[in-house]
């Protein structure tokens, strides 16, 4: 199994996925807002998880609504990402073709519930974990208070991208100061030019 610590940006396994078993699971969902780490999770599982090695893999990325899915069968499909409920019919098609699907999704897990007919389903909600944000700030060597991190996560969710936007818009001695200044002068929707290429 690949050592995830070899990556220049260490993967934060806040869901303890490395020790989780995905045997006999047909559909795995990672639900959360943009920037919360869904794509990084899919990459980690594809490269590193023992249950997903030695199986034919297919990487599928939907930039816009697709008309159809590739005619693949009995593959492990990493799908990035489901954005609309109407795309569920394409996920169903992948399952009907005997594939196992690991998907990032903006669509709430409840909408996938009927797909249990094709096998075991497992869901994770990934944008509510405040501790992953504190660890991210520690890696950046940015001071913070737990209160500021909790306030940020309540407002935006636990998203790396929005942390980066705030720190870039208001470079400060601490996340608390940056967050305070950020809300005095704007919000996430007003920061459209931040570079988030380095987030985990």
Q: Cβ distance 9 to 139 under 8 Å?
A: no
Q: Cβ distance 39 to 103 under 8 Å?
A: no
> Counting beta carbons within 10 angstroms of the beta carbon of residue 117, is it exposed (0 to 12), middle (13 to 18) or buried (19 or more)?
exposed
- Cα–Cα distance, 175 to 91 (Å, whole number): 40
Say yes or no: 70 and 12 in one domain: yes
Give the domain-ending residue among 104, 125, 146: 125
Neighbours of 78 (CB within 10 A): 23
78 falls within a domain: yes
- pLDDT, tens only, 79-130: 999 999 999 999 999 999 999 999 999 999 999 999 999 999 999 998 888 9
- pLDDT, tens only, 129-179: 899 999 999 999 999 999 999 999 988 888 888 899 899 888 877 999 999
Say yes or no: 50 and 9 in one domain: yes
Q: Cβ distance 44 to 13 under 8 Å?
A: yes
What pTM, to 2 d.p., does this model score? Answer: 0.75
Task: Provide the domain limits for residue 148.
Answer: 130-190
96 falls within a domain: yes
Say yes or no: 149 and 166 in one domain: yes
Say yes or no: 8 and 65 in one domain: yes
Total number of domains constituting the chain:
2
86 falls within a domain: yes
66 falls within a domain: yes
């Amino acid at each position: 199994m690949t050592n995830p610590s070899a990556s220049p940006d260490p993967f934060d396994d806040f869901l303890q996925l490395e020790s989780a078993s995905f045997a006999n699971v047909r559909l795995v969902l990672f639900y959360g807002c943009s920037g919360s780490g869904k794509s990084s999770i899919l990459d980690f599982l594809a490269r590193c998880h023992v249950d997903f090695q030695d199986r034919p893999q297919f990487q599928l990325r939907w930039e816009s609504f697709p008309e159809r899915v590739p005619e693949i069968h009995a593959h492990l499909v990493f799908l990035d990402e489901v954005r609309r409920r109407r795309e569920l019919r394409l996920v169903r098609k992948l399952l009907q073709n005997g594939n196992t699907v690991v998907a990032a999704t903006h669509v709430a897990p409840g909408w996938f519930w009927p797909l249990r007919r094709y096998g075991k389903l497992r869901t994770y909600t990934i944008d509510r974990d405040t501790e992953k944000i504190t660890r991210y700030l520690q890696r950046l060597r940015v001071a913070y208070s737990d209160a500021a991190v909790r306030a940020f996560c309540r407002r935006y969710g636990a998203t790396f991208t929005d942390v980066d936007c705030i720190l870039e818009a208001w470079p400060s001695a601490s996340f608390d100061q940056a967050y305070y200044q950020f809300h005095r002068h704007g919000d996430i929707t007003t920061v459209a030019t931040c570079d988030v290429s380095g987030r985990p």
